[in-house]
Each structure stands twice: as structure tokens, then as C-alpha cells.
Chain A
Amino acid sequence: MSAPPVADATLRRPRIAVVDYGAGNLVSIDQALGRVGGDVVVARDAEALRDADALVVPGVGAPAPAMDRLARRGLVEPIVEWIAGGRPYLGICLGLQLLFEGSDEDGAKTLGIIPGRTTLLSGAPTLPHIGWNQVDRVRDHPLFDGVRPGADFYFVHSYSGSPSDPDMALATTTHGATFVSAVARDNVVGVQFHPERSGTDGLRLLRNAVELLRAGAWAAGCEPAGVA
């Protein structure tokens, strides 16, 4: 059964700028966001952010070369201003780690938007942490609507960001020690796992993100429970 054509035609496809800073695979995030109703624009410079509804920073790898490449493309200030302006931001993996003040991985100074550092996973039986692992929510968030508690998502990393303020944590995961695997506050959301590579549950999370953008409810959804 297909959806009524009128509804389809009037559904706005939020314009999502996905930052390309030369590291890794953009195909899967492009495909996944497109599949769930996003209109993806690959952003290689500040100009590409102009008409976007949301900014997604994906990426894997080391933070120092990532910061260098963002700087060379003139994207550091625009990203900081974007977030300061309260506009919707989703960081995936390295795109989350870059929000912290700095990283132990290579000593990089990162964007400093979230107080705290990116540190090596402690007590991990295997490193890198590669594979599907449980994401345990510590509070409700519309991004996870329809995803069952403790669903598995795909991880591929050795470091993770530890927010100084524990209230920023949205979910945790255990590999050796327990680490923060998702954060959310106001307009800033970040996940250490890869929703674009996490099958149906990952697509559900991205679909929720697109629907929050479409409803203009992105930041409203990010208030910690019990905080006005």
C-alpha cells in the first residue's frame, strides 16, 4: 500500500548539510538520510551551510588531522557559530568527539563546545571496539522513539568523549568500562555509534531526527527530563 500522493508531495524534506572533510565514507550517511526523508547536501565549505536546516558531522579516524582539514576548508568557525546559534547539530563518532575540549588520541585541541575530554576506552577486552553493542538510554529522548531499550548499534572506535556534566549523557554502552555513547543538550546531539550502519534501528533513529527537523522540534526534544 502506498501513502496518499498529496501527503507525499507536501512532506518537506529537511535540508541536511553533511560535512565532508576528506575522511572516510559519506555514501552510507547520504544513502541513509535520503532513505528516511532528508535532502542531503555535501558540505565542503562554509557556503554549503547557508540554506541547511541541520548540520551533520560524520567521520572516523584521528581528531588532529580532522581538525586540520576542517580548518583548511574554513569550516571551524562556521561550525562553532552554527552551534552557538542554536541550530540543529548531529555529530556521529568523530563528529561527536570533536565537540569536546581535546582528545587523548593525538593531543588535538578540539571545538570545546562540550566540557570534557575524549579518552581511551578503559578496561576494554579488545581495541578498537568494533561491532554491535547495546545502547542503554539513561533518559528518554525523541531521537530514540520506537527503538527498544538496549537495542544494539554498530561501533568502530577506540576513544570516547566523557562530558564533565553527567546530565549531558543520553545513553551509555559497556565494553570493559561503561562509557557515554550518546549525548544531547539543547540543539547539540551526538552519538558514538554509527546509525547509518546500524540496520533498522539506525534508520529509525535517523528517521526520528528528520521528523524532529520537519516539525521544528529539534532543540525542544533535547531538554533533559525535568529541566524547563
Chain B
Amino acid sequence: MLCRRVIPCLDVADGRVVKGTRFVDLVDEGDPPELAERYAVEGADELVFLDITAAPEGRGTLLDIVERTARRAFIPLTVGGGVRSVRDMRDVLRAGADKVSLNTAAVADPTLVSRCAARFGRQAVVVAIDARRAPRSAGTTAATLEPTWEVVVRGGRDATGLDVVAWAERVVDLGAGELLVTSIDRDGTRSGYDTELLRAITDRVRVPVIASGGASRPADFVAAIRDGGADAVLAASIFHRRTHSIAEVKRAMAAAGLPVRISVEAAA
């Protein structure tokens, strides 16, 4: 049975892992390759590496850090941030990424998703969707009680006018093999994943969905999978700061009857 994955996220700025609330007030959390190795040993099923500065002039450095990270951890690595072309994707894969995550560039040019999928296969193309819950208008009626979410880009700074569920279905049609769905409302708040957001998407697409934004307690991970229908759960600061270990999260998942991988290293 396919295991539900627990994925630590490395938000990387200027070569260091950082974490802040709602993409601001960044705090240094360590060296990407070192953290990657630690998480692999602790039982992480996969790693996501997001270059949150994504400055074009920093690209060479980024590729070097991706390669050093890929060489330290024998688990899959998804890299995102600043990938704007098929050539960028090729370079990131060559540096040791197994999958590439597209976000802002896919919104700007959706054909990037199909072009990357045609070249490298859809299983290598993750589309990251940052979602913000739409405010209820004053004239809300029963017919509009269902919540809706808007796609935002540039770390939540820019609205796009795109409906999240419609965008999710579109990018899957274009060739996305996986979706990384972040609730910008919950990100960094430790108030739990937005399970309604996840369910709205997982009811409509067949590709695996990675839940992101808001993880605080092991029970939140269980809820993202059981209530949200997520295939994988991602978190950053609670792992970086050792608030909870990956093993604790997996124990909670196993106790809830979810299939998890208990790695040799973590069990030892």
C-alpha cells in the first residue's frame, strides 16, 4: 500500500534555510545539505527545497547547493523557486533534483507546465499553488456559502484573480503530476492545515496533493490526509525547531490507521 509521505520543507534564502511567518521576518534555521541529511536519517520520505529569494544572479549558487543537498540525502528532492523555462528545469534536474516545482512562472505562462511535462514527463512536474481564502462579501447567500480561494503569487504579495480549484484542474490537464498546495492564510500560523481547501482540490483531481501551511501538532498531519484527502504533508518550522519529530508525526499517522514508512534509520 502506498505510504502517506511526511516532507520537511527547506525554504532557502541566500544559501541558508530560513523560516518566517507569512514569508516575512526570516530566521536562519541552518545549512541545507546538513538539514537534508538529518531529515533523511530521521525518516523523512522526501524533501522540498524552495529557493524563496530566487534571484536570477544567484542561480549558479543555488544549483551548487541543490547538488550538495542531493548528494547528502538518499531520498527524493523537489526543487522550486525561480524555474521559468524548460532549460531552467533541465539545469535543476541535472543538479540532482528529482522533481521541479513551478509556481509564479506557471501562472504567467501556463504552457510552461505542458512544455516541461512533454520534455521530462509529468511525474517530474509539481505545480505549487499558493491559496488565499476569499473574503465573504456582505451580500452572502446560502448559494455562496461554500468557501472559495484565490491563487496568489510572489509569496502571497500578488493576487491573480484565478480560482484555486479551477487552476488546479487546469494545470493537471496541462501536465502537472503533483500539486503542492499552500494555504497562505495558515502558513506560519500553526493553526493547522486548511482541510477544506485540500478537500476542494482532492475531490477534483487524481494527482497526488501535498498539503502545506499551518502544521502545528501531529494531529494536523492526520487531518490533512483523512479530512483533506492529501497524499503527503509538508512542514518546516516544527521540524527545524524540533517541536515535533518526523517519527512522532508518523506514529500519530500510524495510530490513525494511515500507511506510513518506518525507515530503518528512524527505527534504530
Q: Beyond A28-B98, A126-B231, is A194–B76 a contact (Cβ under 8 Å)?
A: yes
Cβ of A126 and Cβ of B74 under 8 Å apart? Answer: no
Cβ of A60 and Cβ of B124 under 8 Å apart? Answer: yes
A contact residues, total (Cβ < 8 Å): 39
Cβ of B98 and Cβ of A131 under 8 Å apart? Answer: no
A149 interfacial contact with B, CB 8 Å:
no
Q: Which of these, A26, A28, A131, contacts B232 with CB under 8 Å?
A: A131
B19-27, B105-113, B115-123 - interface stretch: B115-123
B170 interfacial contact with A, CB 8 Å:
no
Q: Beyond A126-B231, A131-B3, A200-B264, is A60–B70 a contact (Cβ under 8 Å)?
A: no
B52 interfacial contact with A, CB 8 Å:
no
Cβ of B119 and Cβ of A197 under 8 Å apart? Answer: no
**Binary per-residue interface labels of chain B (45-76) against chain A in the complex, 1 for a CB within 8 Å, 0 otherwise:** 11000000000000000000001001100111
A111-119, A154-162, A163-171 - interface stretch: A154-162
B contact residues, total (Cβ < 8 Å): 41
Q: Which of these, B71, B75, B208, B261, contacts A31 with CB under 8 Å?
A: B71
Q: Beyond A25-B70, A156-B98, is A131–B231 a contact (Cβ under 8 Å)?
A: yes
Q: Beyond A27-B70, A28-B98, is A132–B5 a contact (Cβ under 8 Å)?
A: yes
| Min C-beta distance of A12 to chain B, whole Å | 24
Q: Beyond A130-B208, A200-B265, is A25–B96 a contact (Cβ under 8 Å)?
A: yes
In the complex, which residues of chain A have a beta carbon less than 8 angstroms from the beta carbon of B244?
none
B178 interfacial contact with A, CB 8 Å:
yes
Cβ of B264 and Cβ of A126 under 8 Å apart? Answer: no
Cβ of B121 and Cβ of A62 under 8 Å apart? Answer: yes
B40 interfacial contact with A, CB 8 Å:
yes
Q: Which of these, A25, A61, A199, contacts B74 with CB under 8 Å?
A: A199
B94 interfacial contact with A, CB 8 Å:
yes
Cβ of B178 and Cβ of A130 under 8 Å apart? Answer: yes
Cβ of B70 and Cβ of A158 under 8 Å apart? Answer: no
How would you classify the secondary structure of chain A's contact residues: helix, strand, loop or mixed? Answer: mixed
A156 to B123, CA, bound (A): 6
Q: Beyond A60-B123, A199-B75, is A129–B2 a contact (Cβ under 8 Å)?
A: yes
B129 interfacial contact with A, CB 8 Å:
no
A141 interfacial contact with B, CB 8 Å:
no
B95 interfacial contact with A, CB 8 Å:
yes
- Shortest Cβ distance from B262 into A: residue: A152
Q: Beyond A60-B123, A200-B265, A201-B264, is A27–B96 a contact (Cβ under 8 Å)?
A: yes
Cβ of A27 and Cβ of B94 under 8 Å apart? Answer: yes
Cβ of B2 and Cβ of A175 under 8 Å apart? Answer: yes
B247 interfacial contact with A, CB 8 Å:
no
Cβ of B206 and Cβ of A126 under 8 Å apart? Answer: yes
Q: A23-B120, A194-B76 are in contact. List 19 more A-B contacts (CB 8 A).
A: A24-B93, A25-B94, A25-B96, A28-B77, A28-B96, A32-B74, A60-B123, A128-B122, A131-B2, A131-B3, A131-B4, A131-B231, A131-B232, A132-B5, A154-B76, A156-B124, A197-B75, A199-B265, A200-B265
Chain A residues packing against B (C-beta within 8 Å): 22-28, 31-32, 60-62, 65, 125-134, 152, 154, 156-158, 174-175, 194, 196-203
Chain B residues packing against A (C-beta within 8 Å): 1-5, 40, 45-46, 67, 70-71, 74-77, 90, 93-99, 118-124, 177-178, 206-208, 231-232, 261, 263-265
8 A-B pairs with the lowest CB-CB distances in the bound complex, closest first: A27-B96, A61-B121, A128-B123, A200-B264, A132-B3, A132-B261, A152-B261, A31-B71
29 example contacts (A-B, Cβ-Cβ < 8 A) are as follows A24-B93, A24-B94, A25-B70, A25-B94, A28-B70, A28-B71, A28-B74, A28-B77, A28-B96, A28-B98, A31-B74, A60-B124, A61-B121, A125-B2, A126-B207, A126-B208, A130-B231, A131-B45, A131-B208, A132-B45, A152-B3, A156-B124, A158-B122, A197-B74, A197-B76, A198-B74, A198-B75, A199-B40, A199-B75
